[in-house]
Structure formats: structure tokens, C-alpha cells
A and B are shown apart, each in its own frame.
Chain A
């Protein structure tokens, strides 16, 4: 058979619907590109970007400790010395993520996996001293130590499993090692170990005493927990309204509101993403199994969905706070555990529709394993409604946390927007407008931004859903 009469070659004219200059883009990238081409989503993204920036750089934006100071002829950086494990992890993830943006070869999934791997690497190193403390001084040794061992095992699995499954090139691995090695060494030599009960006053006292020869301070020289109640002035009691000294005023105990708000953005981001992440994982797995296996798996799954769908989230949160005290992570887990129902329903509905499609039959005919059929062939096609649900889910998780904090059942010492709102009305009935306005505005804008992005996502994905 001669090559010339292969009929096939005739059909391969360059596809006219796309010019050769545009590089092929994955569906997800295309969808995000379309989403953020919309004005609403852009506005939302800018605000979320501001919040994310505040979350990552909070200690550098508002801190009572100087960046750099010279005292008694000795240079020191109290700010860097007192960085926490979270600070270090966030910074590492931020900079690695920034770097990965410029590596063109990787797709979104690979980038996310590398970031996850960095977290798995840095987080235990950064928390090493605290972990030691918990290990030795815990109240419930069996429970806590068992939990720590379990977390350690998961972490180890991630550390080994992610690079193994990604099969990155050697060159890439080398670059990565060169970038991360100094950080790892530094963390092992000097793990972050902030003072447990910081005395912020010492720097001001030193300055007043003239002991500091040279100092570089943060733009806002107040830590969120730097309470100025000791500087009691009967004429100007706390909370004070906005002034030059405190741009957004102070709260009940004299802490700077702007500083607290900046640091609170971490909780706002964290609670949204982690609780939605938990919800997403559970929802996708349950929904995928229901939608693919149908029959009794579906029957059982739907009952489970109904049970979890009827649990009042806020009530459960209140109960848990009453029993186990105020714990941010517990909150995230509970919000996550009670909000996966919608995701599961979405995934199930999409899978039911998709499993009849020929490409799924083709995957089965090729003998692909179930894991690949579910997560490589079906899930990416079912992502569209999930993306929308996630962005709305983040918004509602933030609201849930704010509600709880507003009710006075939130976090005790860590700053949160809802907790500031809570102080707007004093026990004596006084109303402090700045304590209501600024945190309220921050909550509103953040939730609004997520909703804007969610709307834009839905609009961007909808024609795709019907058109393809």
C-alpha cells in the first residue's frame, strides 16, 4: 500500500476555527481566562488579592517589633526572630507559587501539587518546636500523640507520593532543590520559635530610654495583640475613634483595629479555603461514587446526603464550641463536614449524565482502571458547577465564622473580623461606629468579591455546558 493514497491525509487540513498563533489552552485555563475577563470578577479578584497580600505579609505590615534595630552596638531583627510557623509557611508558599507562575511547562494541577508538597515540607519543620511541646505536655497523651503520628504519616505520604506521581524532569527537580534547600537548612538550624507571651512594651520602653540607636519599624507599628491598656489615660479611654496614631481606632483593650484587621485576613482566607476544601474532597468522592455506581451505592449515598443536609450548621458549631472550647481548626472541620452536601449532589448529577457518554464507554473498553475513569475522565467534565459552588461556599464559610465570632463564641485571642464587630456595642450600651464600620465593610467586601467571582464563573461556564 503506497503512502500516497492514504485517504486520511486529506482530512488533516489545519483547523480553520483557530489561528495557529494561539497556543492550545486547557479547558480549565480557558474557563478561568473567560471568568477573569469579566469586570465583576476582576473587581472581586483585586479585593481578594488585597486580602491575600495582607494575609501573607501581615507580620510585615503591622507589627510592634521593629524590622531592624541597633541597640548597644548590636544589630538585631526582632520581627524576623519572632516569626511563627504559619508566617514562614505562608511566605514559602507565596514565593514558590510566584516562581511557579513563570514556569510555562507546568499545568495548573501540577502547580497545585507542587505547592501542596511545599506545605508538607515546610509546615512540620516550621512547627517543630511546638510539636515537641505538644508531644511532652499534652493533657491527653494517647489521643494527641496518636493524632500527631497520623498527621506525620499523612505528611510523609504527601512528601514521597507527590513527587513520585508527578514524574518531573531531573532539571526541574534540581532547580527546586536549589531553591528550597537553604530554607530547609535554615528551618532545621533555627526553627521559628516565637516567645509565647510577648512583651511588646519593651521596644517602646527601650526607645523612650534612648537605648535604641537606629530602628526601622513596620508601617503600622502595632501587633494585633499589642494591647495598650497599660497606657491608661482617663481622658482618652479605649476604644478610641480613628486618629493619626490609630488610623481605624482602637478596640476595647487598646489594640489597633487596622492591625487586627490585617492579621484577621488570614482567618478569613483560611477558614474559607480549608473548610471548602474539606467539603470539596468529601463531596467529590461521595458524589462520584453515587453517580458512577448508581443502584444501592446511590441509594445509600443519597440518604447520607439527606442526613448531613439536615444538620443545622450553626447549631452544631455552637454545640462543639460549648464542649471543646474555641478552636479555629475545629470550626473549619465542622463547617467543611456540614457543607459538602451540595457538592456531592452536583457531582452526582453530572456523573449520571456523563457516564452514558461514549468517551466513558471508550475508557472502559480500553481497560482503564476505575480511578482513572472517575477522576481523569469524569471529574474534569463535572468541574463546572463545582467551581461555582466553591466560590459561593468560601463566602458562606467566612460568614459562618463571622457570625460565630460576633456572637462571642469565636476565637479568644486571635484577631477576627467578626470578633471586632462583637465589640461595637459595649456592655453599657455604647455604640462605637468604627468598630462596626470597618470590620463590617471588610466582611461585606470579601463575601461580595467571592460572590462576584462565583457569578462570573457561572456565566463563563454556562455556554460551555450547553454548547459542547
Chain B
């Protein structure tokens, strides 16, 4: 067991040191520097109300996220809708302005670039979208959709561009003669292939895959996943793979980060995370995945309530109202160290919709008293090394 790296009290753990520890036998980039380094990224959306659109609050979609993506590797980002995983991907690519934090690509500060230099950088960082229907311009031919970035970045034009487009189409498994057709003539899987061809057209070394298979049929998903896998092998592309399907993430990622309410609550190598989850949210998420076996072996944990609204997240650890672990710990702890959920403002009934604590489904049933650790309510736990493999970090006060 590696020594406990505690960065108690701080919200930004000392990740650079961890990143340099070789985790799970995966090799680092030659100079040890990650390809993409994200530090304490925050993206808050203002909530405006009234005639003068006064800002009355913020939706903290991403609230202090740090991770590294290494060249040729895949970081899986998993979470439920509203966890902010999509916003992370788009903020890194500067499609959404960040509130604070930094993103470095090969040591270059992405948020500091402007104009021509930003455009140049965009060549190296691309995105694949979830919805193959809306991600292709319905009024452009496939050839133009894939070829336009080539012209704009001065890579190829004229007949050279045509050749490039043809070979890209072939690479993603489509007939090159399709380049004169329009997106509506293709099926979902084919459109996703076109989206992939567009993303690799500029030979990027980093691609954000934003739920690339969740809109596709089951039998098509594996085709697309294998294609992405092949491209990574051949072209050495690093992926930030965003998905809600835990099985897909496990299959595809080298390292996995679990997000809850705009924060990473647990991060480890894929094998370690799935074999030995530490954070209670990860544990219940994993147990909720339906097993494709009519004689199931694992027990399922059904959490009450839903993920609270990111505009009004719970204090301290954002998971504490639903967390089974803190309840168990509170049952054994001193009464002065614990607080009752009812006292904290989670009445069993009479729950105002959508506000209050930002919870819409009941967490308590009538007459129930649940106590949680005060520490979980008052202080947000940092991401710190947990028992297990090196580099396995989780944000929880209670877990080992």
C-alpha cells in the first residue's frame, strides 16, 4: 500500500505528483508530461431572472475538476446526466467559456490563446458528438463536411482534398463515392462514422468523444467502439471518453473518473476502479447497472432521491444526503459528531419542488430519522489516495 497522500482541507489535491506515478503499469509520455492537463476547471452558468436579467445565481456545472490525459491513452469520464461531464469536454475545447481553472495542451495554456493561434490549436483537439442527427450540417455534402476543415487549415485543397476525403471515408468504413451525398441519406451508425472522419481529418492527437455510441443501436455500438479503438492504435490519438454507460467506459478506458455534481468523486485505472470501487456513489452506480444474466450474482443498491440540482448543491460533500456510508458511520459515531437529515432541511414530505435543497425525490420516508456525519455536511472531502492501487483517488471522508 502506498503512503497516504493527504491534502486535507484543500479542494485541489496535489495531482501533478500523482500523475507522475506510473499507475497500473501504463507508460507515460516520453517526457512524463501529459498531453492535456486540466487543473481546477470550473464552469458556472449564470441564472438570469427578471426584466434586467439580473444574475440571481449560478449553475455550477463543473466545479473544480482536475485530470490529465496522456498521449495515446483514454480517460473515461462517467456520470449521470447533470453531473457536468459533457460541459467538461466542451470547456476544454473552448466551446463553452470556462469560469476559472486552466487547461494545458502540450504545456500550452489553451485558455490564453486567441485568434489565429487558437485556430491552429483546434487542429489538434477535436470532438465527436452524441447525436449523429444534429452533428452534421444537413445542407452540406459529406465531402464538404469532412473537407472544409482541410481547406480552412490550409492542409489540402482541390483534387488533393478530394483524395484526402476519399481516404478518410474509406478509413472509417464508408464508400468514398458517398462524398457527394447529404447526411439525411445515411443511417445513424454511418453518420457517426462521418462524424469520426471529420474529427480525424485534421490528424488531431486528442479527441473528446461525447457519448459517441449512446444514440446508436446495440449491434452498431460495438462497430463504432472498435473503429475508435483501431484509430487510437494506428494514429496514437488520446481520448477523453464521456459516457454514462459504465460497461462501455470499462471496455474503452485506461483510466476512469467518476463525476457527481460537477466534481470528480473517484478516479483510478479502469481495472482498479471496477474491481475495487471506493466511493459510495461509484459503488451504487456500479450496482445499478443491469446485469445481462437472468441469474444475477450481485446485489443492487437502489439509492433514494436523485442527483440534486447543480444550481443549489448540498453543502460539504455533495453526496451526503443520499450517501449510505455516512449513515452507517453516523450510527456508530458520537451523537455530537452527527446531524439529522431532518434538521438539515430534508423533511420527509412537504418537500418543495425543485428548490429547498435542490432535491426532487424524497430521500426519507415519513417518520424516518437518518443521521449523517457532521464532517460530511460541513466540509467537502478532497480527492485523496485510498487503500488499493497507486493513483486510486476518491473524495470521501468515510471510505478507507
Contact = CB atoms under 8 A, between A and B. Distances in A.
Nearest to B189: A11
A21 to B, nearest CB: 14
Interface in B95-143: 95, 118-123, 125-127, 129-131, 133-141
A174 interface: no
A12 B174 contact: yes
B6 interface: no
Contact of A365 (B93, B141, B220): B93
B83 to A, nearest CB: 19
B230 interface: yes
B193 interface: yes
B198 interface: yes
Interface in A322-368: 357-359, 361-368
Given A358-B129, A361-B129, A7 B230 contact: yes
| Residue among A1, A8, A10, A376 having the largest count of chain B Cβ atoms under 10 Å | A8
Interface string B201-227: 110000000000000000010110011
B193 A11 contact: yes
Interface size class of A (residues with CB under 8 A): 35 or more
Interface string B144-173: 010011001100000000000000000111
B190 A366 contact: no
Interface string A1-27: 100001111111011011000001011
Contact of A11 (B180, B195, B220, B234): B220
Contact of A8 (B93, B134, B135, B171): B171
A369 interface: yes
Contacts of B129: 358, 361-362
A367 B123 CA distance: 7
B45 interface: no
Contacts of B306: none
A380 interface: yes
A365 B174 CA distance: 23
A26 B178 CA distance: 14
B95 A364 contact: yes
A27 B173 contact: no
Given A1-B234, A7-B173, A9-B173, A362 B139 contact: no
Contacts of A396: none
A1 B233 contact: yes
A1 B171 CA distance: 12
B134 A357 contact: yes
B175 interface: yes
A8 B148 contact: no
Nearest to A15: B185
Contacts of B187: 11, 15
A325 to B, nearest CB: 45
A403 interface: no
A368 B144 CA distance: 13
B198 A362 contact: yes
Nearest to B133: A468
B186 interface: yes
A246 interface: no
B181 interface: yes
A372 interface: yes
B149 A368 contact: yes
Given A1-B234, A367-B122, A362 B135 contact: yes
A7 B138 CA distance: 26
Contacts of A1: 230, 233-234
B300 interface: no
Contacts of A27: 138-139, 182
B98 to A, nearest CB: 15
Contacts of A6: 173, 227, 230
Contacts of B198: 362, 366
Contacts of A71: none
B90 interface: yes
Contacts of A18: 185
A377 interface: yes
B26 interface: no
B95 A365 contact: yes
Contacts of A468: 133, 138, 184
A8 B174 contact: yes
A381 interface: yes
Nearest to A9: B173
A1 B121 CA distance: 30
A12 B125 CA distance: 27
A367 B202 CA distance: 10
B184 A8 contact: no
Contacts of B184: 468
B122 A376 contact: no
A377 B95 contact: no
Given A7-B227, A367-B122, A377 B137 contact: yes
A377 B185 CA distance: 18
A359 B190 contact: no
A357 B332 CA distance: 51
Contacts of A380: 137, 139-140
A369 B307 CA distance: 39
B120 to A, nearest CB: 7
Contacts of A381: 137-139
A367 B119 contact: yes
B238 to A, nearest CB: 16
Interface in B316-356: none
B307 to A, nearest CB: 23
A10 B135 contact: no
Contacts of B185: 15, 17-18, 24
Contact of B126 (A8, A10, A357, A366): A366
Nearest to B202: A366
A359 B137 contact: yes
A307 to B, nearest CB: 20
B131 A358 contact: yes
Contacts of A12: 173-175, 178, 190
B172 A8 contact: yes
B286 to A, nearest CB: 28
B72 to A, nearest CB: 15
A15 B186 contact: yes
Contacts of B140: 376-377, 380
A10 B139 contact: no
A14 B140 CA distance: 20
Nearest to B122: A367
Given A10-B223, A366-B122, A468-B138, A24 B152 contact: no
Given A8-B193, A366-B122, A368-B148, A361 B127 contact: yes
| Residue among A362, A368, A377, A381 having the largest count of chain B Cβ atoms under 10 Å | A362
Nearest to A17: B185
B194 to A, nearest CB: 11
A365 B121 CA distance: 10
Contacts of A367: 118-123, 149, 152-153
**Interchain residue pairs A-B with the least CB separation, the first 5:** A8-B173, A367-B122, A358-B135, A380-B139, A367-B119
28 contacts: A1-B233, A1-B234, A6-B230, A8-B173, A8-B174, A10-B173, A11-B173, A12-B174, A15-B185, A15-B190, A24-B181, A357-B134, A358-B135, A359-B136, A361-B95, A361-B129, A362-B198, A365-B95, A366-B152, A366-B201, A367-B118, A367-B121, A367-B152, A368-B148, A376-B140, A377-B140, A380-B137, A468-B184
Interface of B: 90, 93, 95, 118-123, 125-127, 129-131, 133-141, 145, 148-149, 152-153, 171-175, 178, 180-182, 184-187, 189-190, 193, 195, 198, 201-202, 220, 222-223, 226-227, 230, 233-234
Given A369-B119, A377-B137, 11 more contacts: A6-B230, A8-B171, A8-B172, A15-B190, A24-B181, A358-B134, A362-B135, A366-B126, A367-B120, A368-B149, A368-B152
